[in-house]
Amino acid sequence: MKASTHDGRFHADEIFALAVLNLFYPDLEIIRSRDETVYKNSDIIVDVGHVYDSDNLIFDHHQRSFALKRESEIFPTHRKTWAIRSIPQKGKKFEYCKLLPTEWGGRQKDLAGTSDVHDALYCHNGCFLAEAKSLEGADKLAGIALEN
Cβ proximity of 1 and 29 under 8 Å: yes
Q: Note down the domain range covering 28.
A: 2-59
- Sheet with 2-5, side-by-side order of all strands: 29-32, 2-5, 44-46, 58-59, 52-53
Whether residue 106 sits in one domain with residue 141:
yes
Task: Tell me what pLDDT residue 137 has.
Answer: 96
Looking at residue 75, its pLDDT comes to 61
Quote the mean pLDDT of the chain: 87
Q: Rounded to 5 degrees, what are φ and ψ at 29?
A: -100, 125
Q: Looking at the 3D structure of the chain, how many domains does it have?
A: 2
Question: 89 and 54 share a domain?
Answer: no
The residue among 59 and 67 whose pLDDT is bigger is: 59
- 77: in domain: no
Contact 107, 131 (CB under 8 A): no
What integer pLDDT is reported at residue 59 of this predicted model?
A: 87
Alpha-carbon span 147 to 126, nearest angstrom: 19
Least trusted range by pLDDT, from 58-62, 90-94, 108-112, 113-117 = 90-94
- For residue 141, pLDDT beyond 70: yes
Per-residue model confidence as pLDDT tens digits over 62-92: 777 777 766 655 766 777 889 998 888 777 7
